Amino acid sequence: MAYWNVDKVPYVGTSDLKSGLGFHYYQPDKVVAGKKMRDWLRFSVAYWHTFDQRLVDPFGDGTAQRPYDKYTDPMDQALAKVDAAFEFYDKLGVDFLCFHDRDLAPEGNTLRETNKNLDKVVDKIVEYQKTSGMKVLWNTSNLFTNPRFVEGAGTSPYADIFAYSAAQLKHSLEIGKRVGSENYVFWGGREGYESLWNTDMKKEQEHAAKFFHMAKDYANEIGFDAQMLLEPKPKEPTTHQYDTDAATTIAFMKEYGLDKDFKLNLEGNHANLAGHTYQHEIKTAVDAGLLGSLDANQGDKLIGWDIDEYPSNLYETTAAMYEVLLNGGIGPRGGLNFDAKPRRSSFEPNDLFYGHIVGMDSFAAGLLVADRMYQDKVLENLKAERYSSYKSGIGAEIESGKADFKSLEAYAIDKPQSELIAATHSDHLEQVKDTINHYIVDTLGK
């Protein structure tokens, strides 16, 4: 039975300007920079936003129209949703999916009952994996929606909630092993505070670290070797979340000895909410050797909350893929997971296809542009030139550690201002931005 009233989305090229159900840039088996597009990009569909999200907002009930809405029994709907999901993956042409435990099946009154519901759905997913070849980029556990997590999960002030969270996560790791997840993600939506006046921030962070260590220990114990990932976000839902941005999360990982086993899952919209560009967050992780995977979405920088738009901004996808190219890939096992949802006014089933198509095409386009810029070395040459004074003379002495304040004073103390100014150079930033425009337009417009 067909849930989705569309054919398999074909590559159609760039002849028709109006977007439809076809890719303009994404050709999974096309080789770019030595790898197939599908292997650079490793696109994943997020279960929560694609199949569960009802398109509610704080002032509105859900508008989503979904082909499995007719099922009223929660388990019936959950099982039908699996059929719909795998048909969707196939028609869209992606290789990966991601899910929270709670995306798949309804909760029971106890965790035991909840796990039972969940296992039934996972059984069906495992069956589908055998025939479809679909892989799980990562799975995760929803430790934020239920009222029991109101003040945190691993950072809850209440030991029973810590215990429950651990128990819930245990089963989520077991499921990760069953479905062969390549990564395992933690997003701490409740791991933060509403007010510092009543919060013991340090104790809560110690608890979080303990929780992560226990999780890794248990994964090791059961032989689940997924790459563990933390996903930063500064605020929303809480006033302050501990995993604020890449740098803050790296500091936390280092402080608590987690940087050997954990890396980062970075999201574009979260970057913006923290006051950063997506490129900045990716570069920060790359420089620390801690880039794990990417949540592919975009924000509206004039909007102060998480909108998780499908990525369409070619400047941002180009910048992201440029950093990925320099890094040789997203991460050891990373991919681009569409943590993205349609606007509330895009409520028809096909909008899920349109959304993913603009997202996949925008990242495929970004890869093509980034590759061409990289091949032409337009920016790499510029940077090499810009820092070239450290290659010889006083610069080399600084680099090698031979220089100290006394030798540098001897070098500089009688240099006139004019000579110092002459040592600096314009970075011609306006020209650089123009060149990037040309690379985008020329690479994609042919």
| Contact set with Co ion (CB under 5 A) | 267, 269, 295, 306, 308, 339
Question: CB neighbours of 420 closer than 8 A, spacing ≥ 6?
Answer: none
Taking residues 400 to 429 in sequence order and writing x for each that binds a second copy by CB under 8 A, - otherwise, the string is -x-xxxx-xx-xxxxxxx-xxx-xxxxxxx
Q: Are 300 and 100 in contact (CB under 8 A)?
A: no
Query: Known binder of ligand: residue 231?
Result: yes
Q: Which has the closest alpha carbon to 219: 181, 187, 179, 177?
A: 177
DSSP strand pairing (192-193 vs 240-241): antiparallel
Q: Which of 9, 355, 363, 364 binds a second copy (CB under 8 A)?
A: 355
Residue 304: CB minimum distance to a second copy, A: 1
Catalytic residue among 52, 103, 361, 371: 103
Residue type, 336: L
CA 275 → CA 217, 234, 272, 296, 304, distances in Å? 34, 9, 5, 17, 10
Q: Are 162 and 122 in contact (CB under 8 A)?
A: no
Of 35-43, 132-140, 175-183, 232-240: span binding a second copy (CB under 8 A): 232-240
Q: Pinpoint the alpha helices (H) of 93-110.
A: 101-104
Q: Are 243 and 237 in contact (CB under 8 A)?
A: no
Of 87-95, 116-124, 127-135, 141-149: span binding a second copy (CB under 8 A): 141-149
Q: Which of 95, 362, 364, 370 binds a second copy (CB under 8 A)?
A: 362
Which residues in 70-99 contact a second copy (CB under 8 A)?
none
Assess 178 for contact with a second copy (CB under 8 A): no
Query: Known binder of ligand: residue 306?
Result: yes
Q: Which has the closest alpha carbon to 269: 292, 246, 291, 301?
A: 301
Active-site residue, 103 included: yes
Active-site residue, 361 included: no
Of 32-40, 69-77, 88-96, 245-253: span binding a second copy (CB under 8 A): 245-253
Assess 284 for contact with a second copy (CB under 8 A): yes
Instruction: Look at residue 340 and give its three-state secondary structure.
Output: coil
By beta-carbon proximity to Co ion, the closer residue of 199 and 284 is: 284
What residues are annotated to the active site?
A: 100, 103
Binding residues: 231, 267, 270, 295, 306, 308, 339
